[in-house]
Amino acid sequence: MNIRKLSVKRTSVFIATGAVIALAACQSIETTNKNARVHQFSDAIKYNQVGYYPNASKIKIVPSLKKMSVKVIDNKGKTVLESVSSEPEYWPYSGESVVKLDLTAVKSVGTYTIEIDDSAQTITFEVNNNPYTDMHKEGLRAYYINRAGIELLPKHAGDFARPMGHPDTEVFIHESASSEARPTNSVLSSPKGWYDAGDYNKYIVNSGISTYTLLLAYDHFKELYKNKSLNIPESNNNIPDILDEIAWNVEWMSTMQDPNDGGVYHKLTTLNFSPIMMPYEGKEPRYVVQKTTSAALNFSAVMAYASRIYNDVTPDIAKSYLVQAIEAYTWAIENPNIYYQQPDDVKTGEYGDNDVTDEFAWASAELFIATSESQFLDNFDKFSSTPQTPSWAQSSALPYISLLTNAKTMLSESQYSQYKIRLLNLANDIVNQHKSSAYAVAMSSDDFVWGSNGVAMNKALVLWQAYGLDPQNDYKIAAEELVNYVLGANPTGYSYVTGFGKFPPKHPHHRQSEADSIDEPVPGFLIGGPHSGQQDSCDYPSNLPAQSFLDHWCSYSTNEVTINWNAPFVYSLAQMHDLHKK
């Protein structure tokens, strides 16, 4: 462990509603963290700390036992709005009684102060035509910083420049993945790709949904991405930067298929999680582990989608992606229930999933869209189920999204309307959760899991699709309030995105951020978010689901960053840009 670095990093102490809750660091860090700087939240008003589009929903939350009146004052001292809050309501996930201040009517660009009756509380908030431009760029550049197998040069990475980590040109076949053609310890090359998260391993299933979601963002917002420069090494080719960034991962994924049978390895990993260190310090052997049905189907879906998108820019490569997608699908049909089983000597992330019906439906739909062959749509109908909020393990909504938004003309009217009703039903459930929430946020008890902020953003993703299919304001408001939630309108008062907002996390569980010599973490990462599972050894300030969060390296179950949580966040930023552009 890099003690020098830990001792200069800060830990947070959270002061909420008068009660001081000291957050003890986990054992291994306590002794090194002597210079901890106290970080206090004085703002009890919970609001989006990054800013609002003029026409976006702007609900603020104030812990209170009674209704309040509020004044909104512009920077010339003029009162632009006088209003009253909602009645107080109890939010069980944070144990607070709160009122809502709906300031959506404040639509002129500017900086405003809120004054609340008989309370000394004031906050300022921003209304801006482009509140998220930088955050959107950094949200995508975070993928570049998490690239395996490439040196990051100062001209692209600035202070985050670093030597190449994990070339992965010599990767071993783990015993669990052994076959006649590729026996245990034989070697393959599987370079590039994104590190999954705060760790340095690469997992197909999680890579797959991340890649799909970013491809979807490009597909739905091509005009925006056509000229959006990310300042990455490929920025000067004639391909949109977002596609260059995604290609880095798709190219890696393509190496994870065994060409001898079409099966796909579940992950490429060291046997254990590494200590805190920079990527280039990782010298442990890397293995591909077990072929699984979930990896094959996830791979098949994503490669089929990639074959369509990259057909416009690199058609030969795109064709080979489709061949790979079909081979993986064929393997999965022949091996329909090979579930991931972590071998005894492997300790890294599992991403295990014992129900792959949803992945069958997803791959079937993507192959139908890519090939126009009706047998795949028949298979989609056979495997599809009621859509649920997407996650790495749950892809049931993704084929509906793809079919409805990318392939409308390939469907009959009755298919289209039937699929649409199913997806809208999910969105309607989410809207109802939003409406009945004291916090004006569509988060329910099931949502506070490891990666709850990813759940929030995937709910927003579903709502945006519904809004596109049926432009009801309720979908837009519920989605925007989920964005407001992760940017600060939440009980902890953190903006959950590194580098953005007044109180962003400073100590994400991200090895590069922790091991480099830079005080600030890599910006643009959405951290996992609170949940009461507390599946690590840290001391949390609260056991309540929406409060159980710790801005500390120790807390990998609430404060890690991942490629799959960032992707739907990026999607929302693209969607909001599109919606609010002048």
Binding site for ligand G3I (CB under 6 A): 196-197, 199, 349-350, 449-451, 533, 535, 556, 560, 562
Contacts with ligand 9MR by CB under 6 A: the residue count is 7
514 is a site residue for ligand 9MR (CB under 6 A) = no
Q: How far apart are CA 558 and CA 450, in angstroms?
A: 6
Query: Residue 451: which of ligand G3I, ligand 9MR, none does it interact with, CB under 5 to 8 A by kind?
Result: ligand G3I
C-alpha dihedral (516, 517, 518, 524), degrees to nearest 10: 0
Q: How far apart are CA 530 and CA 358, in angstroms?
A: 27
Query: Residue 44: which of ligand 9MR, ligand G3I, none does it interact with, CB under 5 to 8 A by kind?
Result: none
As given in the structure block, the two tokens for residue 401 are 């999204």
Burial code (b: 16+ CB inside 10 Å, e: under 16) for 217-226 equals: bbebbeebbe
Catalytic residue, chosen from 166, 434, 509, 531, is 509
From the list 10-18, 196-204, 320-328, 333-341, the region that binds ligand 9MR by CB under 6 A is: 196-204
Q: How far apart are CA 261 and CA 243, in angstroms?
A: 29
Tokens 């200069």 correspond to what residue? 8
Minimum CB distance to ligand G3I smaller for 290 or for 562: 562
| 551 tagged catalytic | yes
From the list 112-120, 195-203, 369-377, 459-467, the region that binds ligand 9MR by CB under 6 A is: 195-203
Minimum CB distance to ligand 9MR smaller for 33 or for 57: 33
Angstrom CA distances, 298 to 332, 334, 373, 401, 544, stand at: 10, 15, 19, 15, 34
Q: What is the three-class DSSP state of 89?
A: strand
Query: Residue 143: which of ligand 9MR, ligand G3I, none does it interact with, CB under 5 to 8 A by kind?
Result: none
In the bound complex, what is the minimum distance in angstroms from residue 490's beta carbon to ligand 9MR?
Answer: 22
In the bound complex, what is the minimum distance in angstroms from residue 197's beta carbon to ligand G3I?
Answer: 3
Find the radius of gyration of the CA atoms of the chain: 23
Query: Residue 40: which of ligand 9MR, ligand G3I, none does it interact with, CB under 5 to 8 A by kind?
Result: none
Tell me how far apart the terminal alpha carbons of the chain are, to the nearest angstrom: 50
Residues 233-292 that bind ligand 9MR (CB under 6 A): 273
- For 351-403, the DSSP string reads ---S--HHHHHHHHHHHHHHH--HHHHHHHHHH--S----BTTB-THHHHHHH
Cβ neighbours for 471, distance < 8 A, ≥ 6 positions apart: none
The DSSP output letter for 77 is S
Q: How far apart are CA 519 and CA 160, in angstroms?
A: 11
As given in the structure block, the two tokens for residue 352 are 């295990």
Minimum CB distance to ligand G3I smaller for 80 or for 449: 449
Catalytic residue, chosen from 199, 261, 358, 447, is 199
| 509 tagged catalytic | yes
Query: Residue 233: which of ligand 9MR, ligand G3I, none does it interact with, CB under 5 to 8 A by kind?
Result: none
Residue selected from 188, 197, 243, 278 as contacting ligand 9MR according to rule CB under 6 A: 197
- Phi-psi region at 488: left, alpha or beta (left = phi > 0; alpha = psi -120 to 50): left
Minimum CB distance to ligand G3I smaller for 266 or for 434: 266
Q: How far apart are CA 395 and CA 427, in angstroms?
A: 15
Catalytic residue, chosen from 138, 168, 258, 551, is 551
In the bound complex, what is the minimum distance in angstroms from residue 263's beta carbon to ligand G3I?
Answer: 22
Burial code (b: 16+ CB inside 10 Å, e: under 16) for 533-546 equals: ebebebbbbbebbb
Taking each helix axis from N to C end, the angle separating 413-435 and 452-469, rounded to the nearest 10 degrees, works out to 130
Instruction: Specify whether the CB–CB gap between 427 and 435 falls below 8 A.
Output: no
Minimum CB distance to ligand 9MR smaller for 191 or for 349: 349
Query: Residue 533: which of ligand G3I, ligand 9MR, none does it interact with, CB under 5 to 8 A by kind?
Result: ligand G3I
In the bound complex, what is the minimum distance in angstroms from residue 528's beta carbon to ligand 9MR?
Answer: 9
Find, among 47, 14, 43, 50, the residue nearest to 119 by Cα.
Answer: 43
Query: Residue 499: which of ligand G3I, ligand 9MR, none does it interact with, CB under 5 to 8 A by kind?
Result: none
Find, among 71, 249, 221, the residue nearest to 148 by Cα.
Answer: 249
Q: Which residue is nearest to ligand 9MR (CB)?
A: 199
In the bound complex, what is the minimum distance in angstroms from residue 277's beta carbon to ligand 9MR?
Answer: 11
Burial of 342 (0-12, 13-18, 19+ CB in 10 A): middle
From the list 194-202, 370-378, 421-429, 487-495, the region that binds ligand 9MR by CB under 6 A is: 194-202
Q: Which residue is nearest to ligand G3I (CB)?
A: 349
Minimum CB distance to ligand 9MR smaller for 495 or for 555: 555
In the bound complex, what is the minimum distance in angstroms from residue 450's beta carbon to ligand G3I?
Answer: 4
In the bound complex, what is the minimum distance in angstroms from residue 285's beta carbon to ligand 9MR?
Answer: 18
Q: How far apart are CA 454 and CA 581, in angstroms?
A: 25
Minimum CB distance to ligand G3I smaller for 226 or for 347: 347
In the bound complex, what is the minimum distance in angstroms from residue 272's beta carbon to ligand G3I?
Answer: 12
| 266 tagged catalytic | no
Residues 528-567 that bind ligand 9MR (CB under 6 A): 556, 560
Minimum CB distance to ligand G3I smaller for 261 or for 514: 514
Query: Residue 184: which of ligand 9MR, ligand G3I, none does it interact with, CB under 5 to 8 A by kind?
Result: none
In the bound complex, what is the minimum distance in angstroms from residue 270's beta carbon to ligand 9MR?
Answer: 11
Q: How far apart are CA 362 and CA 304, in angstroms?
A: 10
Find, among 429, 426, 417, the residue nearest to 386 by Cα.
Answer: 426
In the bound complex, what is the minimum distance in angstroms from residue 143's beta carbon to ligand 9MR?
Answer: 17
Minimum CB distance to ligand 9MR smaller for 47 or for 556: 556
349 is a site residue for ligand 9MR (CB under 6 A) = yes
Minimum CB distance to ligand 9MR smaller for 449 or for 579: 449
Find, among 304, 290, 284, 460, the residue nearest to 370 by Cα.
Answer: 304
What residues act catalytically? 199, 509, 551, 560
- Binding region for ligand 9MR (CB under 6 A): 197-199, 273, 349, 556, 560
